[in-house]
Structure 1
């Protein structure tokens, strides 16, 4: 599974980075979250980040 963020929907709250900093990082230039390691990270933390995202902009793809 690869993790992606719809940057158009991201509000830049940083919740995903707080939960799973190995995979997500807030870009200070765009003020949007970005995926820094799409294929890696603890699956349970990625799922928590997806579930906790207030704009539901994080998703996984095969």
Structure 2
């Protein structure tokens, strides 16, 4: 699974990282997702947690990318 983090929509709530800390990293500088504007690979073992993190984003800034 691949996901894209929208750099404009991400508001730094950090809910994604709360539910999937092995997938979503937060920037130490501003608390926003450290991978904003990028597409990242989600390890198979973390897909369930990543899905929870995606659903928890109030801005819907994270989307699954079709492979």
In the TM superposition, what is the alpha-carbon distance from 1:50 to its structure 2 partner? 0.9
Contact 2:14–2:31, Cα closer than 8 Å, also in 1: no
TM-score by length of 1: 0.81
Q: Does the Cα contact within 8 Å between 2:2 and 2:64 map onto a contact in 1?
A: yes
The Cα of 1:29 is off from its aligned counterpart by 2.3
Q: CA RMSD, aligned part only?
A: 1.7
Q: Tell me which stretches of 4 or more aligned residues in structure 1 moved more than 4 Å.
A: none
1:15 & 1:21 partners in 2: Cα distance?
Answer: 10
Residues matched between the structures, number: 61
Unmatched segments (≥5 aa) in structure 2: none
